[in-house]
Amino acid sequence: MNKPADHHPVDAHSVMYITKRPDIVMVEGSGSWLTDQNGKRYLDFLQGWAVNCLGHCNPGVVNALHQQAQKLINPSPAFYNGPMIRLSDLLTANSCFDKVFFANSGAEANEGAIKLARKWGQLHKNGAYEIITFDHSFHGRTLATMSASGKPGWDTMFAPQVPGFPKANLNDIESVKKCITDKTVAIMLEPVQGEGGVIPCDDSFMRELRQLTQENNLLLIVDEVQAGFGRTGTLFAYQHFGIEPDIMTLGKGIGGGVPLAALLCTDEVACFVPGDQGGTYNGNALMTAVGISVIDQLLAPGFLQSVITKGELLQSELLKLSSEFGLKGERGKGLLRALMLGKDIGGKLVDLARDLEPEGLLINSPRPDLLRFMPALTVSNDEIRQMCAILRMLLKKVV
């Protein structure tokens, strides 16, 4: 595994140290492949953490950026623009929601959802403000969304937390009931916990939550920042469960790689008045034009069905690996899947896969005992098989 002769250590002293980065610089991307400064290629099953839902530099995304950039970038959030209206219409026409507020990141969309629920509590529930969230959930890195998250250690990291986020256990309805008080205004969850290790919410649990929230006049908020936008094989993940939430947040896939996110709600819940919510870049024409291209491609005939079919292929290939190497199975929905390793070898596999020569593989280990896969929704069957073949070779070495 020799490094090419022209390889120099990366000099990046001025880049703030917020994550341990390998000594490479990415310079190009196309579909499921990334290329670094030395010309080495990587098969990318991360896609910027499920962000590039149509792969790197999708032609539709590139074209939307190019066309819109020449016309209008950001007339300010104080004016309507064409792409903002068109994308809002597409989102509401294809979901159970009526109103859309665009944001720039998943965390910002979730902040908006929290504010909206609290406002609704002020108007309709005597100032109730508590939002029940779940252990191992992930909702973002702002103070409120870190407080909403159930990541171990995050309660003390930047203490004090924003109050009002009691934690229940996913797929345990009794634990949710125990958290309900007269201060409760909403329940918020990921339909598939992503960072927590790809843990799908049970069908029955989601339906029980919808019933429980209706009985207690609470809002149901789904955080689909990772699971939404085709990732699980339906346009939105809640559509698997036969329920309709009150509020949904989107991020990652909605922008196909550019910073775009959204907060959606029903008319009954849309209680913001002018001054409550906003932001300099929100709903800018450049990013929403990209969102239109992404959703158009996802809604093209057969596309979402192809995500389901490829998800099944990935699932069956992972199950083969699991039985060959005595691992602990796999789980997930659509093209958001995890392989349970049964041992803390995830980090080692991630490093070995990336450092392979002549071509590397990019995978992720959100917990040391599992690997997570979030390829482009446009990944080919061959690329799925190629990824599993590389993994087989590495597992032979490591297990």
Ligand X SMILES: *Cc1c(COP(=O)(O)O)cnc(C)c1O
Stretch that binds ligand X, among 15-23, 133-141, 290-298, 310-318 (CB under 6 A): 133-141
Instruction: Give the closest residue to 153 by CA, choosing from 170, 168, 135, 165.
Output: 135
Please check if 236 is assigned to a binding site: no
CB of 199 to ligand X, least distance (A): 12
Instruction: Give yes or no for residue 190 binding ligand X (CB under 6 A).
Output: yes
CB of 377 to ligand X, least distance (A): 16
40 vs 139 by CB, closer to ligand X: 139
Query: Can you read off the two tokens belonging to residue 166?
Result: 């009691």
Stretch that binds ligand X, among 25-33, 53-61, 219-227, 319-327 (CB under 6 A): 219-227
Stretch that binds ligand X, among 91-99, 135-143, 161-169, 355-363 (CB under 6 A): 135-143
Instruction: Give yes or no for residue 106 binding ligand X (CB under 6 A).
Output: yes
Instruction: Give yes or no for residue 226 binding ligand X (CB under 6 A).
Output: yes
DSSP 138-170: ---SSHHHHHH---TTHHHHTSSPPS---EE-T
Binding test (CB under 6 A) with ligand X, winner from 150, 251, 346, 375:
251
Binding test (CB under 6 A) with ligand X, winner from 24, 64, 225, 314:
225
Helices (H) and strands (E) in the chain — how many of each? 12, 17
134 vs 138 by CB, closer to ligand X: 138
**Non-local CB neighbours of 67 within 8 Å, separated by 6+ positions:** 289
Taking CA atoms, 5 is separated from 36, 42, 60, 101, 391, in Å, by 14, 19, 37, 50, 27
Of the listed 40, 252, 310, 333, which one is catalytic? 252
Q: CA quadruple 70, 74, 78, 80: dihedral positive or negative?
A: positive
- A 10 A CB-CB count for 203 gives 12
Residue nearest to ligand X (CB): 106
CA–CA distance, 91 with 158 (Å, rounded to integer): 35
Instruction: Give yes or no for residue 150 binding ligand X (CB under 6 A).
Output: no
Residue 19 backbone dihedrals phi, psi, to 5 degrees: -160, 150
Which helix (DSSP H) or strand (DSSP E) does residue 384 occupy?
Answer: helix 381-398
Instruction: Give yes or no for residue 228 binding ligand X (CB under 6 A).
Output: no
Task: Say whether 295 sits in a helix, a strand or coil.
Answer: helix
CB of 258 to ligand X, least distance (A): 11
Instruction: Give yes or no for residue 130 binding ligand X (CB under 6 A).
Output: no
Of the listed 36, 44, 223, 246, which one is catalytic? 223
CA–CA distance, 228 with 221 (Å, rounded to integer): 13
Please check if 280 is assigned to a binding site: yes
E-strand spans in 179-299?
Answer: 184-189, 192-193, 199-200, 219-223, 247-250, 261-265
112 vs 194 by CB, closer to ligand X: 194
Instruction: Give yes or no for residue 140 binding ligand X (CB under 6 A).
Output: yes
Instruction: Give yes or no for residue 284 binding ligand X (CB under 6 A).
Output: no
**Non-local CB neighbours of 95 within 8 Å, separated by 6+ positions:** 235, 236, 248, 264
Binding test (CB under 6 A) with ligand X, winner from 58, 105, 147, 266:
105
Instruction: Give yes or no for residue 223 binding ligand X (CB under 6 A).
Output: yes
CB of 162 to ligand X, least distance (A): 15
Active site residue 252: yes
Instruction: Give yes or no for residue 236 binding ligand X (CB under 6 A).
Output: no
Instruction: Give the closest residue to 273 by CA, choosing from 49, 104, 123.
Output: 123
By CB under 6 A, the count of residues binding ligand X is 15
Q: Which residues of this protein are in contact with ligand X, per CB under 6 A?
A: 105-107, 110, 138-140, 190, 194-195, 223, 225-226, 251-252
Point out the annotated binding site for N(2)-acetyl-L-ornithine. 141
- The set of catalytic residues is 138, 223, 252
Point out the annotated binding site. 106-107, 138, 141, 223-226, 280
